[in-house]
Structure 1
Amino acid sequence: MAKQLINALLPLVLVLFILTEVAEGTKKSYGVYKSKYEKLFVFGDSYVDTGNFIHSSSYKIPYGITFPGKPAGRFCDGRVLTDYIASFLKIETPTPYTFRKSSNQQYGINFAYGGTGVFQTLVDGPNMTVQIDSLEKLIQQNVYTKQDLNSSFALVSVSGNDYTAFLVNNRTLTEIKSFTESLINQISINIQRIHKLGINKIAIGLLGPIGCLPSINRVTFHLACVDILNKIPENHNKILLQNVSQLNQRVGKTVFGTLDLYNAFLSTIETMKKKHEEDPSLMNPLEQCCKGEDLAQTCGKVDDSGEVKYSLCDKPELSFFWDNVHPTQNGWHAVYTLLQSSLHQLIS
């Protein structure tokens, strides 16, 4: 009887053993879902910062209410572009550089810092050159090997704050052409340096339509983008695209790719705007979800007694802009969806 029971159970045991081995093998190798890019290194500003600027409003309520449910250092109610690029590569979001000593560095490092630029736009914030310096130091310390870098992907999203600083400094628009040329020249130097450190795939975000930002379009009562200011990113992007093409020709392969944030923003805004016109109860995509009561319209601001000095829209998940300049998680997801074809093209 015992022998018959063993003979009956043996095939089942063998099947369970095989299934266990397959499951373990899948767990270790991720099977067909494994990406060849195992690490992500991020350089830039608040559009891709996931927690480095610890003294910013991004660490105050209501930031992070959608994800992870509390303020976490993202200039958003939830996920930002970095999170979606990481998910595209099928890895976890890389650790912010500020927390590198207390967090896992397995999936790369995020050096981006809100408010910074290609040049020095903040008194104490690391510009792009300093951010790359930080990666170089980690390489010198053997935190990342040559093999690590060869299987890494870099994301660059920068220059919006450079133009803001340019305009705030009361310079005339007649000087902007030479400023753009110097800006893109420095971006070129920086991305070539990232490549020389060993990273062979680098995605550079084009400049978004700054005339559509709520901080700007409020002069139209959030009814339309300020088209004249969108000429700045249009010209910037045209020169940057030419520059990237020349760099790839020089290298002899596609190392550098661009992510068209400009048209992805415009396309998403236009789609949402049509829906809003058809159904006014839906959120106007040119209006921010989180509004401050003061002229600066500071999201998250409270007075000395703790009284809230901002208001929130009913459904952040239906809005495009979170605050004056940053998209919501919903906005970033829509933009990322439109960028996926460019990402596939870059990594193929």
Structure 2
Amino acid sequence: MKLLTAFLVLVLLLFVLDASRVEARGTPAGHQKKWSNKSLFVFGDDFTDNGNLPLTDPVTEFSRQWAYPYGSSYVDAHGFPRPNTPSGRFSNYKIQSDFIGKCIFINGPIFSNSIALVAISGNDYASPGVTGRSSINDINAYIGKVTMEISANVDRLQKLGVKKVLVNNLHPVGCTPSKTQTNNYTECDIFGNYGASVHNNNMKQVMATKKNVHIIDLYAAFTNIVNNAQGSELSKQFKRKLSPCCESLDSKGYCGQQSASSELLYNVCDKSNKFFYWDGMNPTHAGWEAVMKQLQKPLKDFIDQN
């Protein structure tokens, strides 16, 4: 099936989660396995990849999720900390798909046999031809093509028999450390957030007439934390909202990078739970937990509908 071909860096992820193994890990001691025929199919990139991109030797920027310090806050199925255990996730522990899987399968029954999550993080717009000197009109046109293709692929998924579809909208891309780095992590990039807003408005329009489709409002959930002037309770828990916990020593480097002599070319914060972002684009475990806490109720309400 042709999926989201407009994205030049899109990764296709396909995995099935059951009620007792949301993270594809073992069942905690003392808990009886409860198998389920409910399936979650995920199509996305860094925000949802639970370990599908392979490890390379040597590790590169695109396989860094398999290297320390990724997974540095990992806790095994028995509740024991296992630091330095990368699981292929772009974070220090759990990511969006883990929290969605837990919400859907563990915290109550669902009435649909299959659910699909279509997720993009904003990296997909960082491709040649739509950045740099591109005009607003060029970017708007590109965004229009992207949202129409997402719409077409939602239709294809439903024709294949997927009962319900979840679609991420774009988070405020201009607030990611990759964008705020140029001003010493002090303020969001207006242009980046504008592009995300245009994308989200287009997405809302093309999805308006579809049944059994729910847009996960990442933009609002992220904004409540990283760009909230009043300072919500969720926002206050993070001392650093626009800077990464893991930062490369080189502006063109990446978290997890090492020299040929195994010298670490990055710094890692001491308290990841005080940082919203883990690296240049992806939230920390604590960041995702705060985001999904806001989105859990509307997500559950949508899933529980007949």
Report the TM-score, using the length of structure 2 for normalisation. Answer: 0.76
How far off its partner does 1:168 sit? 4.3
Cα shift readout 1:111-147 (whole Å, capped 9, x = no counterpart): xxxxxxxxxxxxxxxxxxxxxxxxxxxxxxxxxxxxx
Flag the 1:65–1:273 CA change in 2: closer, same or farther, 3 A. Answer: farther
Q: Counterpart in 2 of 1:11? A: none
Query: CA–CA distance in 2 between the matches of 1:197 and 1:75?
Result: 30
Find 1:264's aligned residue among 221, 234, 242.
221
Give the residue type in structure 2 aligned to 1:58: Q
- Structure 2 counterpart SS, 1:64: coil
Shift of 1:231: 0.8
Work out the CA distance in 2 between the residues paired with 1:346 and 1:260.
13
> Which has the larger Rg?
1
Question: 1 CA distance for matches of 2:33 and 2:217?
Answer: 35
- Using the TM superposition, name which of 206-215 and 227-236 deviates more: 227-236
CA 1:29 to 1:216, structure 2 compared with 1: closer, same or farther past 3 Å?
Answer: closer
Q: CA deviation at 1:282?
A: 6.2
Partner of 2:3: none
* 8 A Cα contact 2:168 2:218, kept in partner: yes
1:220 is matched with which residue?
Answer: 183
**What is the SS of the residue equivalent to 1:246?**
coil
TM-score by length of 1: 0.67
Equivalent residue runs for 1:138-177 within 5 Å: 151-158=113-120, 160-165=122-127, 166-168=129-131, 170-177=133-140
Q: Distance in 1 between matches of 2:72 and 2:43?
A: 25
* Alpha-carbon shift at residue 301 of structure 1 (Å): 0.7
Change (3 A) 1:196 1:161: same
Q: Is the 8 A contact 2:224 2:232 kept in 1?
A: no
1:51-200 superposed matches below 5 A: 51-54=51-54, 55=56, 56-68=63-75, 69=83, 70-91=85-106, 151-158=113-120, 160-165=122-127, 166-168=129-131, 170-200=133-163
Runs of 4+ in structure 1 deviating by more than 6 angstroms, as ranges, are none
CA gap of 1:270–1:231, structure 2 versus 1, over 3 A, is: closer
Number of paired residues? 254
Residue aligning to 1:313: 269
The two structures, once aligned, show a CA RMSD in angstroms of 2.8
Per-residue CA deviations over 1:281-304 (Å, capped at 9, x if unaligned) read: 963110100011012241001101
**One-letter amino acid of the structure 1 residue matched with residue 300 of structure 2:** H
Equivalents in 2 of 1:242, 1:185: separation in Å? Answer: 10
How many Å separate the matches in 1 of 2:72 and 2:87? 9
Residue 296 (structure 1) aligned to one of 252, 262, 276? 252
Equivalent position of 2:59 in the other structure: none
- Report the CA distance between 1:206 and its aligned residue: 0.4
Aligned AA (1:241): K
Structure 1 unmatched ranges of 5 or more: 1-25, 93-148, 249-254
2:79 alignment partner in structure 1: none
> Of the candidates 209, 213, 236, which is equivalent to residue 199 of structure 2?
236
